[in-house]
């Protein structure tokens, strides 16, 4: 999607309400922009945020549906 700082604009333009990413900083920025953000757990983002975290597609499905 390009620049991390511009993702919120593209997500909103696309009509999306939820975004999953493994970069905690991106998810935090999107959360602050009013977009539901879910962090895909990876070693580099553990214990670096307070956002919902998922490990796999089953976790995403349970959280979103």
- Token pair recorded at residue 45: 């983002």
Q: Six-digit token pair at 31?
A: 């959360």
- Encode pLDDT of 23-38 as tens digits: 999 999 999 999 999 9
pLDDT value of residue 48: 87
Element (H, E) at 13: helix 7-13
Q: Model's pTM, two decimal places?
A: 0.84
Is there a contact between 39 and 52 (Cβ–Cβ < 8 Å)?
A: yes
CB-based contacts of 9, cutoff 8 Å, min separation 6 = none
Tens digit of each residue's pLDDT (9 = 90 or more) over 43-64: 999 988 999 999 999 999 999 8
């Amino acid at each position: 999607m390009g620049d991390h700082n511009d993702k919120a604009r593209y997500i909103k333009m696309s009509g999306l309400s939820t975004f999953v990413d493994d970069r905690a900083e991106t998810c935090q920025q999107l959360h602050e922009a009013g977009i539901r953000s879910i962090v895909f757990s990876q070693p580099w983002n553990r214990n670096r945020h307070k956002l919902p975290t998922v490990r796999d597609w089953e976790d995403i499905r349970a959280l979103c549906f």
